[in-house]
Amino acid sequence: EGPVQHPSGFLDGMAALQWGQAKDLEGGEVRVLTTDMSTLEGFSMLADWGVRTCPVIERSGGAEEAKVVGTLDLRDACKFFVEMQEEHKTSQEGRASVKDRFNISAEVEISHVLDSISSHPSCGQGKNISYLARMHPLRVVEPTASLQEVARYLSHGSHIVGVSGGGGELGRLSKIITQRMLFEHISSQLLQVSLRVDEVMNPRVLSVSCSSCAYDAFKLIASKNVSGVPVVGEEGDIRYNTSSSDVRELINWGKKTGMGGNLSERLSDNLEDFLVAIRARSSDLKTRVTVSTCHPVDDGRKEEEGER
């Protein structure tokens, strides 16, 4: 057989990963949570900082020395929120309508969201974030590690990678690398790659309709253990995406704006209206551009009967 034929630009992209090093990336500010924080405090800080994942450190040798024990991830917030809301809904069945149960002030609503999350048994009875952090280990690499190694770690588990060489008070972390930072660094090489999308993207399609209620989107994300799903119109055109980051915006909704209304009504809203509303107040607005179409006859569009 002859030599393997790589698509145009592929070798340039691989070279950028192979020869580039972790120290070449700018990296983000090292923000950390500590194991003595409650789950409520931890998820609140993720919301305040506008991040999805954050390292968690344990200070056992004094304030000047800390150990990284793992990460706190908003995907857990989405999962626990859905489970606790379902349990609450079941326990209250027949007593009052959902809207009546949640007809409270914005401040209390947000507290209820966080309390629901922190009440989940897997949160260690809401005492601290140590248990959750150990479920999601943080990969830490040397500054001279190849970007290929960084990319491999970013493709599984936590969506961040730590770089060593920092101070003891931050668990020896000097920077945090995200998927976005890596892609931005090698994007010029990737633009030359001529691979078709369907040659590299082959998982079954999961999507949710614009006309679904917002809560159904969170349930799908939680049940499939994914970070997010596309939101499609009636013709299958992609209108938006929704992800665990929208749980962050939900937490921040009443926390920063004092917006009234009731939580259950917002979660029962048409998903498109819900996303427009929460993103109208976000500085990180998502551009609405149709990039693809998933027709009803496409393989895998429906994972289960009635699910889009």
CATH code at position 25 = 3.10.580.10
pLDDT of amino acid 290:
47
pTM of the model: 0.66
* pLDDT, greater one: 248 or 66: 66
Which of 195, 213, 248 corresponds to the end of one domain?
Answer: 195
With respect to residue 301, please indicate whether it lies within any of the assigned structural domains. Answer: no
User: Which residues make Cβ contacts (< 8 Å) with residue 210, sequence separation at least 6?
Assistant: 231, 232, 233, 234, 239, 240, 270, 271, 272
Q: Report the percentage of the chain scoring pLDDT > 90.
A: 14
Give me the mean pLDDT over the 274-300 stretch: 60
For residue 249, is pLDDT > 70? yes
pLDDT of amino acid 101:
42
> Token pair 């190694």 is at which residue?
149
For residue 31, is pLDDT > 90? yes
* pLDDT, greater one: 19 or 177: 177
Q: Write the CA distances from 26 to 29, 121, 182, 210, 300, integer angstroms.
A: 9, 38, 10, 37, 39
Q: Give the C-alpha separation, 272 to 234, whole Å.
A: 12
Q: Say if residue 97 is in the same domain as residue 71.
A: yes
For residue 203, is pLDDT > 90? no
Which range is least confidently modeled, 84-93, 169-178, 258-267?
Answer: 258-267
pLDDT of amino acid 297:
56
Q: Say if residue 253 is in the same domain as residue 137.
A: no
Q: Say if residue 165 is in the same domain as residue 210.
A: no
Q: Say if residue 189 is in the same domain as residue 84.
A: yes
**What one-character DSSP code corresponds to residue 237?**
B
Q: Say if residue 191 is in the same domain as residue 208.
A: no
Q: Say if residue 20 is in the same domain as residue 79.
A: yes
Q: Report the percentage of the chain scoring pLDDT > 70.
A: 62
Taking each helix axis from N to C end, the angle separating 39-49 and 245-257, rounded to the nearest 10 degrees, works out to 90
Range of the domain at 44: 1-195
With respect to residue 294, please indicate whether it lies within any of the assigned structural domains. Answer: no
Q: Say if residue 67 is in the same domain as residue 140.
A: yes
Q: Say if residue 136 is in the same domain as residue 187.
A: yes
Structure tokens at 89: 């809904």
Give me the mean pLDDT over the 171-186 stretch: 88
Q: Say if residue 187 is in the same domain as residue 206.
A: no
For residue 8, is pLDDT > 50? no
- How many beta carbons lie within 10 A of that of residue 277, not counting itself? 16
Across the chain, mean pLDDT equals 72
Total domains present in the chain: 2
What's the residue count for the chain?
A: 308
**What one-character DSSP code corresponds to residue 231?**
E
Q: Say if residue 241 is in the same domain as residue 190.
A: no
* pLDDT, greater one: 286 or 172: 172
With respect to residue 189, please indicate whether it lies within any of the assigned structural domains. Answer: yes
Q: Say if residue 50 is in the same domain as residue 186.
A: yes
Q: Say if residue 167 is in the same domain as residue 268.
A: no
For residue 24, is pLDDT > 80? yes
pLDDT of amino acid 33:
95
